[in-house]
Structure 1
């Protein structure tokens, strides 16, 4: 994970939390999770931010743990949802997760915060987290031009979706499309892959 981006999220955690609270819920993403994720399956949210999606997952029958690289965001999540579990882990390695395996893995708009050269390894690591027949939901903001940083210093990397697909080996692809995220209004690429 890009260190400047982690620092931006940690130092601005309360501001980002307020901004995300003001956005409408990502009903389109939630519909996809209900369609593709295994109900009752052990679930990980990688890049959980302030915990909104971890709470939704737990409330909808997907027992989930949230992981994030930014301590400030994890503090916001723990404060908002004290009964849920949040831990620090950063892509591409996710050392804190170790050998744990999951039925469902969510990684919503995180990949673009990695340097482009780390994207393939991060995706392969996410896929490794899956149990047999497990499902990975990935999305990332589509960069229109070269990699860039926003005013807060967050990296928005440009990379080809083919790099992501290739890193997932013999996965069965259930969804592979671009769409406008109804919550953020940003153009994202969504990919749902199942371990065979």
Structure 2
């Protein structure tokens, strides 16, 4: 397994229960996030098939399920998935990597990447986003959430566990450019300011996979 994926899995396996308890009411306390997720659910449409990639303890997965989406979660960490399954028994969850999706090309109406690209090195993001595009049907929707900034934040021994990881901040313009290059059309950009103990703003990008005809035109123009 690639080093950063192994580090990510080890980190979240160690902290899953503490993390879940610390952020138990996160969505309940954040109306803007709920509004973005609600908009996304409306764009996908009731019954739309969605994958929550890097789902963690399944809070966003469960929320979108209650909004009427046919959603499944995927995460590297079995410990996080144990929490997700316990709290969302009606939702399917799978262990795996965002870089090796267990979904057929064109089989999804939506992909959710809710703060789960924040450990992926910048050089790997184009491959990640291309995989998202391939899994989506033409016209399918991606929602990408991340913290805004230029410098990473290092977390060392959270809750006393002997693990460490970097949280990578991004600029919305940088992420939008990568998404466009990967075959997406941007629909919206929402940025909210930091609140409470947060150190940075948070960004929420919604993009649509280009229709098949547009993909073909892009390929022809590239040739």
TM-score scaled by length of structure 2: 0.77
Instruction: Choose which of 77, 87, 108 in structure 1 pairs with 2:84.
Output: 77
Show the counterpart of 2:209.
195
Instruction: Choose which of 31, 37, 54 in structure 2 pairs with 1:33.
Output: 37
Check the 8 A contact 2:149/2:171 in 1, yes or no.
Answer: no
Distance 2:102 2:208 in 1: 23
Distance 2:117 2:175 in 1: 10
Distance 1:136 1:35 in 2: 12
Q: State the Cα deviation string for residues 75-103 of structure 1 (Å, max 9, x = none).
A: 11111122210001223x13433536211
Distance 2:44 2:126 in 1: 25
Show the counterpart of 1:20.
23
Q: RMSD of the TM alignment (CA)?
A: 2.4
How many angstroms does 1:164 deviate by? Answer: 2.7
Report which structure shows greater RCO (CA 8 Å, sep ≥6): 1
Distance 2:79 2:21 in 1: 13
Q: Does 1:174 align with 2:187?
A: yes
Instruction: Choose which of 78, 90, 107 in structure 1 pairs with 2:113.
Output: 107
Structure 2: which 5+ residue stretches go unaligned? 159-163, 211-223
SS of equivalent residue, structure 1 residue 111:
coil
Q: How many residues align?
A: 194
CA spacing shift, 1:86–1:100, aligned 2, 3 Å: farther
Alignment of 1:39-188 (within 5 A): 39-40=45-46, 41-91=48-98, 93-99=99-105, 101-145=107-151, 147-151=152-156, 152=158, 153-168=164-179, 169=181, 170-180=183-193, 185=198, 186-188=200-202
Larger Rg, first or second structure (1 or 2): 2
TM-score scaled by length of structure 1: 0.86
Structure 1: which 5+ residue stretches go unaligned? none
How many angstroms does 1:22 deviate by? Answer: 3.9
